[in-house]
Amino acid sequence: MHASVLATNGSFSWNPVVDWQELTAQAFMRNALLAGTVAAILCGAVGYFVVLRGLTFAADALTHIGFAGGSGAVLLGLSPVYGLLGFTTLAALGIGALQRQLRGRDVVTGMILVEALGLGVLFLRLSSGYSNQTYALLFGDILALGSGDLLVLAGAAVVALAATAAIYRPLLFASLDDEVAEARGVPVRGLAIGFVLIVAVAVAAATQVIGALLAVALIVAPASSAQRLTRRSGTGIAVSVALALAVTWAGIALAFWLPYPVSFFVVSLAAVVWGVVRALTARHRVRASLREAHAAGVAA
Amino acid sequence: MNLVVSGTSPLSPAAPPAPPHGAAIALHRGGVFLGGRWVWRDVDLEVPQGEFVVVLGPNGGGKTTLLRVLLGLQRLDEGSVSVLGGDVRRGRRAIGYVPQRRTLDRDLSVRARDLVSLGVDGTRWGVPLPSASRRAQRARVDEALAAVGATAYAERPVGQLSGGEQQRLLLAQALVTEPRVLLLDEPLASLDLRSQGVVSALVASVARERGITVVLVAHDVNPLSSVLDRVAYVAGGRIATGRTDEVITSERLSELYDHPVEVLRDSRGRIVVVGLDDRDAHHD
């Protein structure tokens, strides 16, 4: 089933109970909501550190490689989720190990990524289900997600979240101040590799929901908004997860009643939230710095 | 400008204080070989406990390398080194470190207090949970913030603080483990003149109060001349140590650089070293 755009599903009733019943009446919708929930929690939490560590580009790189992996799995007759997870984690090991050498090598990295996309296209052409699978991998097809894939996704997400919790404090320390952290005995290199592995799982999860080309939005937009809204890392992660859940659920619900794809709604809502938060906090910041300048002027 | 430190050293500036319990830092015939050359070699450096040493020298001369050796981040290729009577290794709480940096990202919205707090528990695994030790940690963080005069902005996001304010926080983060040796890499760089004076006076007074040995890397000795006990000048693969008026002389520096150098002193005792700049050194 190519279900990313739904036909009519009755009409929105303004009665939340009736709407909820209609939304969750069918198995594929329950699967979609569950997968969206898993992906949003993981991406919201992991995204906080992606933004803090300036790893947006690495996350984007992983989506390209995930696409190649997903299409490779399709070629082998497997579910794309295995190829996604397999390729992104392998690539994460490479990125983690070569992080220092790759810095400032934009052309090399860019060429590898483009080649990954090219391979993905080749794999898909070689396999039979060209257009549907391409569409699903590039732009997401959460409404077509099977229960088996959902289980794999949830399992990987639980492991990734547990790992994030386990390395929380040293990761925060290394993200804010890697030199002091290293001097204090934090294994910064090991943490860097471990964290990119966690990002790989988040990328695979986000790709399942909104596709490889848009996955970065779910990882970066809620986290970046949350960082502008909070001053404590614990609260920041909670707000990031809440925003990711809100845009994902709202996106799936909107796609249920309106004839447009889930990915479009999720990405657009994430962008709107991000833009609004940015505009609001920018005004607040200008006022704060004016106050400071005034205070400094008085003091001098 | 407030460059005067309250409670200046009771000891005569002419005689550096005798080590109370031996040396805090002892580097013996040390050498580091990096990128196909000796950064410095056959270097002896002994810092008695409680002393304030300023490390000077040209860029790329190996000042930071010296700190990295003391932190256990850089292995010696020759000679031996000990800090507080023990071998150097990473993760010693008795050694506080403030690395060289540019100012933090303006968008970094982590509270000042949390940055300092990582000095206590940033090396522990897992997420912080409410507990008695957590409350004790809060008290220690409050104490460190107060010691550097940062209490007023403890709740503000670090990205929005000035360079001098950030430098105080990093000092507080280093102090929170109650170190006996403090290593600071260019803490005065990127600060305006007034903040340079305030920060160096602050480091000196905190160190004196707690008997902390300080090794501070700087590129200008002048803001520090009233607080330092000794200077260590790193250049030409060697290190010259001693009192300022012994080390920063035209003869000693010309010998270190193996190139004529002139040291000038103005009427207020400010020191200027000329002839080191690449623009002045066209001699090939």
Mean pLDDT of B78-82: 95
In angstroms, what separates the C-alpha of A23 from chain B's closest C-alpha? Answer: 36
Q: Do B99 and A231 touch (CB under 8 A)?
A: no
Tens digit of pLDDT for each residue in B183-240? 999 999 878 888 898 889 999 999 999 999 999 999 889 999 889 999 999 988 989 9
pLDDT, residue A212, reads 92
User: What chain B residue is nearest to A51 in terms of C-alpha separation?
Assistant: B108
Cβ pairs bridging A and B (under 8 Å): 94
Rounded CA separation A191/A169 (Å): 11
pTM of the model: 0.87
pLDDT, residue B12, reads 38
Mean pLDDT of A29-44: 96
pLDDT, residue A202, reads 96
Rounded CA separation A36/A55 (Å): 23
Please check whether residue A194 touches B, CB under 8 A.
no
Q: Which of A90-99, A156-165, B85-94, B237-246 has the lowest mean pLDDT?
A: A90-99
Q: Do B160 and A185 touch (CB under 8 A)?
A: no
**Residue A225 DSSP SS3:** helix
Tens digit of pLDDT for each residue in B138-162? 999 999 999 999 999 999 999 889 8
Please check whether residue A231 touches B, CB under 8 A.
yes
Bridge pairing between strands B213-217 and B52-56: parallel
For the domain spanning B1-10+21-94+179-259, the CATH number is: 3.40.50.300
For the domain spanning A16-215, the CATH number is: 1.10.3470.10
Each domain of chain B, given as residue ranges in start order, spans: 1-10+21-94+179-259, 106-175
Q: Do B160 and A285 touch (CB under 8 A)?
A: yes
Question: What one-character DSSP code corresponds to residue B177?
Answer: T
ipTM: 0.84
Rounded CA separation A240/A50 (Å): 12
In angstroms, what separates the C-alpha of A202 from chain B's closest C-alpha? Answer: 20
Q: Do B109 and A166 touch (CB under 8 A)?
A: no
Q: Do A181 and B126 touch (CB under 8 A)?
A: no
Task: For A179-213, give the DSSP string.
Answer: HHHHHTT--HHHHHHHHHHHHHHHHHHHHHHH-TT
- Which among A168, A185, A233 has the least Cβ separation from residue B114? A233
User: What chain A residue is nearest to B71 in terms of C-alpha separation?
Assistant: A183
- Which among A169, A232, A288 has the least Cβ separation from residue B124? A169
Q: Which of A15-29, A65-79, B9-23, B155-169 has the lowest mean pLDDT?
A: B9-23
Each domain of chain A, given as residue ranges in start order, spans: 16-215
Q: Do B115 and A288 touch (CB under 8 A)?
A: no
Split at pLDDT 50, 70, 90, the class of A297 is: low
Q: Which residues contact A50 (CB under 8 A, 6 or more apart)?
A: A56, A58, A59, A199, A202, A219, A220, A223
User: What chain B residue is nearest to A282 in terms of C-alpha separation?
Assistant: B107
Q: Do A183 and B71 touch (CB under 8 A)?
A: yes
User: What chain A residue is nearest to B162 in terms of C-alpha separation?
Assistant: A292
pLDDT over 50 at A126, yes or no: yes
Percent of chain B surpassing pLDDT 90: 53
Tens digit of pLDDT for each residue in B33-78? 998 999 999 999 999 999 999 999 988 889 999 999 999 999 999 9
Tens digit of pLDDT for each residue in A222-276? 999 999 999 999 999 999 999 999 999 999 999 999 999 999 999 999 999 999 9
Mean pLDDT of A2-7: 50
